Structure 1
């Protein structure tokens, strides 16, 4: 009998923000798939799990390069799913760990789609996790939205011709993975008079966590990939 496949969100970085359900599943599975961007580099998701779960003999590392080349991405996604399917056919219980929540801008989504397309017989369970922007808002004691405010979530590593319009339309905006376009985003926030009501967070919940409202101090810097800005139309009343 084929094993069950789990997609497990392990939260934004603080091991204490892993859910009890995530820990229970990772304790019981036979294989934990740990995504990483290249060989020889540590998996951030695994570094979180290692603090609360005994992973010895369970780890299967999967490479997912950071690139916008779709052919290259397809190659690695398909190879990863091949490896997962091989374990499932042996009756192994397999978990795929991912930062934050598995169904929000996560590599797990592409693995999930391929598994579902290849076989309807695979039993799949997705376990939600704490989103990075929820943890960042909590770290700054700043509400994401209140009363009738609207909230947008943007993967800011991509280019948007209509970013000004998005920022102007929604009361509050989460700009995820903002490092690549940070200076441009800050310029737009200043133009829309939102900069003073915005804040930046990187590596939330980890020892190297950085939280600041002084966006100008970061202009021109090489910022961490796991960083975001929460931009607000209005300040606190």
Structure 2
């Protein structure tokens, strides 16, 4: 008897942003893995399901590893894949939560790859979710692409001159994983004269949420760069009469 594995994108934030198909999987899953950072007391992915009716007693929080050591990462996800595969082979439906879209800058990609290596043929399904930048764009009225505009999605580079080149060679830039670089990013956008039509979203749906449809006046960077996305437009959006 064989069950199945489902990777589910949830959130961002506890706003009910969950596809109906994913909610149906949650409600019938025998085991739900909720990844948690080693520096957090609770799983943010699990918090994204607040208010939804599903079997809470089937949730198992698991600390995910992201320390930059490829060998340790490989061992970590191989062990997790083998644990999940054992449950699936026992006939269980197993779900794994990830924040935002399931395969966009997500640790779920490592787990899916490990499952395919260590448990080939195992029923493995990935269901898409809603990205943080799509949510930020909707909340701020920021168009992520018009006509034939070129859009670039990237983690914030350490070299801000590289970011300058990316902005100048694209119409729209979606900047993720900003972190401590936010102050420099804000200064660059102000220098380029485009901060007024750029946007920022921080901790979407969580305590301390900040949503800025414009970056003028320039906000204090502080810790706003963490769990944040910056939406950058090289030219002001077109306005039709």
CA apart distance, 1:42: 0.8
Alignment of 1:63-142 (within 5 A): 63-142=63-142
- Per the alignment, residue 56 of structure 1 pairs with 56
Shifted more, 65-74 versus 197-206: the winner is 65-74
String of CA shifts for 1:160-203, please: whole Å, max 9, x gaps: 56222111111011111212311222233233332222111112
Separation of aligned partners in 2, 1:59 and 1:234: 46
CA displacement 1:78-135 (0-9 Å, x = unmatched): 3322321221222211011111111110010000001011222101111111111111
SS in structure 2 of the partner of residue 49 of structure 1: coil
Report Cα offsets for 1:17-54 as digits up to 9, x if no partner: 11111110110110101011117621111112242132
* Conserved? CA contact 1:31–1:94, under 8 Å: yes
SS at match of 1:217: coil
- Residue 224 of structure 1 and its aligned partner are, at CA, apart by 5.6
TM-score, with structure 2 as normaliser:
0.89
- The TM-score, its normalising length taken from structure 1, stands at 0.90
Q: Cα 1:118–1:79, aligned 2, differ >3 Å: closer, same or farther?
A: closer
Alignment of 1:1-237 (within 5 A): 1-38=1-38, 41-156=41-156, 158-160=157-159, 162-206=162-206, 208-212=208-212, 213-214=214-215, 216-219=218-221, 221-223=222-224, 225-236=226-237, 237=239
Query: Residue 159 of structure 1: CA displacement?
Result: 3.0
CA contact (8 A) 2:16 2:48 kept: no
Paired residues of 1:63 and 1:76 also in contact (CA < 8 A): no
Gaps of 5+ in 1: none
Secondary structure at the aligned position of 1:139 is classed as: helix
